[in-house]
Amino acid sequence: MIIQIRQGTEQARLESLLAWLRSQGIDPHVSVGSHVTLIGCVGDVSHIDIDLVQALDVVESVQRIQEPYKAANRKFHPDDSVIDCAGHPIGGGNFQVIAGPCSVESEEQVVGIAKAVKAAGATLLRGGAFKPLTSPYSFQGLGKAGLDMLLVAKKETGLPIVTELMSQEQLELFDDVDVIQIGARNMQNFDLLKEVGRSTRKPILLKRGLSSTLQELLMSAEYIMASGNPNVILCERGIRTFETATRNTIDLTVVPVLHRLSHLPVVIDPSHATGVARLVHPLAVAATAIGADGLIIEVHNDPPHAKCDGAQSQTPEMFAETMKVVQSIRPFACR
Ligand code: PEP
Ligand code: MN
C-alpha cells in the first residue's frame, strides 16, 4: 500500500500517522520529494481499512499494491489448484461437466436425467433440493426428500452430486453430497461461507453474485479458504446489466482473467448466463474453447413442464449434441 501525503502537512501530523501505522503492525517507509511525500507500507496490510486511511485529512490518495485476497491469490500459489470432486479432478488441465435439472422434482425425473447426461458424457450430476427463487410463491424445492432422490440417482449412475446449500442449518443433511453449491444470491452470505470453510473439506462451487465484481467473488472464496477449506471452485453465471436480450450478461474473458488472478478452477454456467436453451450450446462451446475448467448445464426431460428454469434447460438430446462438440475441443480432459 502506498499513501500519498497532502502537500503542506505538518511534521507532527505525519508522525502521528506513522505511529498509527506502526501500531497496526506496518513498517512505514517515508520518501520525501520536492512536491510529493509518499509512505510505502511494508507488511500485511490486508486488515487495514483503506477507506479509513483515504478519509484522513493528511492523506491525498491511497493505492493498494497487493490484492486483499491471499489464499485465493495466484501470487502465493503459482500452480493451478486441482480440486478432487469425488474422484473427478477439476482444474490444472482437468475438465468436468456437471449436468442435471435446475430442481429435483421426482425420483423418476432425476434418475432418468442422470442416466441421460451420463450417457452423453457428463461427469457430475447437478440438481437443486433447496431452491433460492425470487418469488416466495414459486416452487421452493423438495428439501430433504430431494436430497434423498439425488442420492438414489447417484447410486444408480455413480455420478457424484452437486447441490445448493442455502443455510447453515441444512449442512447436517449434506453428509452424502459430493460438491456443495453456494448460489449467486448467497455469495456474500459471510456466515454461510465461514461455515462451509470451517466445518467441511468438501469442494465448494461458489457462484458469482448477480452484481458482484471479480474481486468480490475472490474475497468470498477467501472467506471459505481462510476458514479452513481450500477446495473452492469459482463459477461464473453471468451478471445483471442493462441488457435484456439474455437473462444475464456474461463476459467470457473472466476465464483468463480469473486464471491470472487466482489458482482456483473456473466453471462456466451457460444456462443461468443466457436463460435461453438454444443459447446454451454456443456459450458452452465458447467457454470450453476459452479455457474454462468445467461447465454446469441445466438439463430437463420435459422443459415446458419444468418446475423452474425450463426456458433455459436443454433436453437430453440437445445436451448430447453440446457434449459432442465440447469433447471435440477437450478430447482427453473429461474423465
Ligand atoms: C441454480 O444453479 O439453479 C441457481 C439458482 O443458480 P444461481 O445461484 O447462479 O442463480
Ligand atoms: Mn436454475
What are the sequence ranges of the domains in the chain? 2-63, 83-332
Dump pLDDT digits (tens) for 34-86: 889 999 999 889 889 999 999 999 999 999 888 889 999 999 999 999 999 99
Let me know: does 314 contact 298? Beta carbons within 8 Å.
yes
Closest ligand by atom to 248 CA: 1
Question: Going by CATH, does the domain composed of 2-63 fall within 3.30.70.1140?
Answer: yes
Q: Which ligand gives the minimal distance to the CA of 273?
A: 1
Q: What pLDDT was estimated at residue 335?
A: 40
Cα torsion angle, 287, 213, 265, 88, sign:
negative
287-331 tens-digit pLDDT: 999 999 999 999 999 999 999 999 999 999 999 999 999 999 997
For strand 179-182 and strand 161-164, is the pairing parallel, antiparallel, or unpaired? parallel
Give the global pTM: 0.92
The pLDDT of residue 102: 98
Q: Whose CA is nearest to atom 6 of ligand 1?
A: 183
pLDDT the model gives residue 235: 99
Nearest CA to ligand 1 atom 1: 102
Does ligand 1 have an atom closer than 6 angstroms to the CB of 128? yes
| Main-chain dihedrals φ then ψ at residue 289, nearest 5 degrees | -65, -30
Distance 288 CA to ligand 2 centre (A): 20
Is the beta carbon of 102 within 6 A of some atom in ligand 1?
Answer: yes
Q: At 238, list the grid cell.
A: 453471468
Say how many residues make up the chain. 335
Distance (Å) from CA 50 to ligand 1 centroid? 33
Cell triple for 145: 426428500
How far, in Å, from the CA of 104 to the mean position of ligand 2? 11
Q: Which CATH class is domain 83-332?
A: alpha beta
183 lines ligand 1 (CB under 6 A): yes
Amino acid 67: pLDDT: 87
User: Which residues lie across from 61 on neighbouring strands?
Assistant: 4
**Ligand 1 contact via 132 beta carbon (within 6 Å):** yes
pLDDT at 66: 85
CA pair distance 50, 109, nearest whole angstrom: 51
- Could you tell me if 274 and 238 are in contact, meaning their C-beta atoms sit under 8 angstroms apart? yes
Q: What is the pLDDT at residue 332?
A: 57
Topology agreement, domain 2-63 and domain 83-332: no
Candidates 249, 201, 261, 204; CA nearest to 229 is 201
Mutation to probe ligand 1, out of 161, 162, 164 (largest number of atoms < 8 A from CB): 164
Round to whole Å and give the CA distance between 101 and 297: 8
The list of the chain residues with pLDDT below 70 reads: 332-335
**Is the C-beta atom of 184 inside 6 A of ligand 1?**
yes
Which ligand 1 atom is the nearest neighbour of the CA of 131?
A: 5
Closest ligand to 308 CA?
A: 2
280 and 271 in contact (C-beta within 8 Å)?
yes
Q: What is the DSSP string of 89-150?
A: EEBTTBBEEEEE-SB---HHHHHHHHHHHHHHT--EEE-BSS---S-TTS----THHHHHHH
> Ligand 1: which residue has its CA nearest to atom 4?
183
Nearest atom in ligand 1 to 181's CA: 2
Cβ of 259 below 6 Å from ligand 1: no
